[in-house]
Structure 1
């Protein structure tokens, strides 16, 4: 096991294009600094509506399994 730590920060329904634009314009300096010091990944759920929901996407990210395998449709 590695001693390295991982912090996963999830932004739901965040527009990467809008964030990039605002960072370039200097309107989000703290966010820009955070991005510069991080590895940033944009996910593609590979799902179609009605399966394109955060309640399905995050279990997919956390488990590495598609909805068809994990079957989680809601957290409630």
Structure 2
């Protein structure tokens, strides 16, 4: 198993697939895969990236998203005001 670089970008450059390669019959473009991988590395706050790099990713729990729950609560409240219970 390869060792991980301490710097995420250096590790990305070392382990990411080549931009294009020849598979024997044609040229294969893997740029989309490289960019998706890079966007996955770049997403999140500094604390989230450190935790992800150390192997402790935070769980994504969409039902605990406070803005979305506030929007749903406001919509329910508007419906109660408009139509009653």
TM-score by shorter chain over 0.5: no
Higher RCO (CA-CA < 8 Å; seq separation 6+): 1
Bin the TM-score by the shorter chain. Answer: under 0.3
TM-score (norm 1): 0.25
Which structure dedicates a bigger proportion of its chain to helix? Answer: 2
Structure 1 or 2, whichever has the larger Rg, is 2
